Structure formats: C-alpha cells, structure tokens
C-alpha cells in the first residue's frame, strides 16, 4: 500500500496542478448573464446594480479574450467594468483568475475575496480560493472553502475532486477522500478512469 500510495501521490499532485488550470478556464468561460445576475441578486437592488447591455457585451468580450489567452485585453476590459460598476462579482472573480494564471496568488486572493463579498455564493471563486489555500499550506482553510462550495452546489464536481485530493494527500482521511472521489465520479459519469481505479484501491483498503 505504501508503494502504491507513493506513486499515486505524485500522480495526484500533478493532477491537482492540471485541475487548477481546468478550474480557472471553467471560471473564465462561465455565463456572463448568470454571473452578473447572481451578483445583482446578492446586492438586492437590481435597478441600481444590474449590468447595462453595453456592460454585458464588454463582459462577454473579456471572457472571449480569456478563452483565447489574451490576458492583457481581458484584464483591461474587466478593470474598466470594475470602474463603471464595481458591484458586479464576475469581473472581480475573473481578474482573480488572471492573477492566478500570472502566478500572483496574493493578488488573486484579494480579488477573489472581493468577488465573494459581492456574491457569497460564487462557487468557482470559493474553489479557486481553496486551491490558493492549499498552495499556502492552509489546509483547514482550504477544506472550508471546498465545503462551502459544495454546500452551495452539491453538483459542483471540481470542488468534490479537490476536497478528495485534500483528504487523500494532505489530511490522510481515506474515508472522506473515498466519499468525495465517488461523488466526483458520479457527477462526471465515471469518465475519469484514473480516479475510478484509484477509488477502487482506496475502498479496498477500507473493507
């Protein structure tokens, strides 16, 4: 088991890095209307804080730039949106994403935290903050972020996977790791064969 665990540990650490990038891209590709509407609802005054048609168009342009890895253009547009309507959570979250891509986790954390102040239910921001917390070895904080994301949306597969990795690699809680690997696998329709194989090995040790 130790030999298997050691090999899997290296694989999972590499997977965590890959997953963090995937998660960032998912955040960058989120629906502009959905993100802006959630922020608007959390503030409670749609007439005052809702995005204009021009702002929605600009936000979509920023997301397109992110997808094309034109981070300078995306950052310019998002900063402009922050100035014109600072109560929208989406631009703050995606600026945080850009700072993560630029390997500036401290700046990313501030921006993502601001997005959560505007919209506490922004699960992708919670998930990214969890990854930053792991990077900083703040494991209890990482666990809290992932759990918050799951409490808001139990179908958010990336948060289940990251929480499983946290329990598996860092906290050595195999029961909880298996639980969240299983949930992740169910949500992704068992398409991740590597995780399924590892889950079978974990569950075998629990019998």
Question: Between the CA of residue 158 and those of 43, 78, 125, 153, 181, what are the distances in Å?
Answer: 27, 25, 12, 11, 10
- The span from the CA of 146 to the CA of 27, in Å, is 15
Give residue-wise pLDDT tens across range 28-60: 333 333 333 333 323 333 334 578 889 999 999
Residues of the chain with confidence (pLDDT) below 50: 1-48
**What pLDDT shows up at residue 129?**
95
pTM for this entry = 0.74
Q: Where in the chain is the domain with CATH 1.25.40.10?
A: 1-30+122-207, 34-121
Q: Please give the torsion angle defined by the CA atoms of residues 180, 182, 188 and 191, in that order, rounded to the nearest 10 degrees.
A: 130
Q: Kindly indicate whether the domain formed by 1-30+122-207 is annotated with CATH number 1.25.40.10.
A: yes
**Residue length of the chain:** 207
| pLDDT value for 63 | 92
pLDDT score at 6: 38
Note the pLDDT of residue 99: 93
The CATH code of the domain at 34-121 is: 1.25.40.10
Tokens, residue 158:
């990336």
Task: Please give the pLDDT value at position 181.
Answer: 94
Mean pLDDT of all residues in the chain? 80
């Amino acid at each position: 088991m130790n030999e298997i665990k050691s090999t899997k540990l290296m694989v999972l650490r590499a997977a965590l890095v890959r997953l963090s990038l995937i998660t960032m891209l998912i955040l960058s590709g989120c629906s502009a209307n959905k993100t802006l509407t959630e922020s608007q609802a959390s503030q409670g005054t749609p007439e005052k804080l809702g995005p204009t048609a021009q702002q929605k168009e600009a936000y979509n342009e920023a997301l397109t730039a992110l997808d094309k890895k034109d981070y300078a253009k995306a950052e310019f547009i998002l900063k402009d949106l922050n100035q014109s309507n600072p109560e929208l959570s989406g631009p703050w979250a995606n600026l945080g994403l850009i700072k993560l891509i630029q390997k500036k986790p401290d700046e990313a954390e501030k921006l993502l935290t601001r997005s959560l102040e505007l919209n506490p239910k922004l699960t992708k921001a919670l998930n990214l903050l969890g990854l930053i917390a792991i990077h900083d070895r703040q494991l209890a904080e990482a666990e809290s972020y992932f759990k918050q994301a799951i409490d808001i949306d139990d179908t958010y597969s990336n948060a289940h996977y990251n929480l499983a990795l946290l329990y598996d690699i860092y906290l050595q809680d195999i029961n909880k790791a298996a639980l969240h690997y299983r949930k992740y696998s169910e949500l992704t329709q068992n398409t991740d064969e590597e995780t399924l194989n590892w889950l079978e090995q974990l569950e075998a040790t629990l019998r």
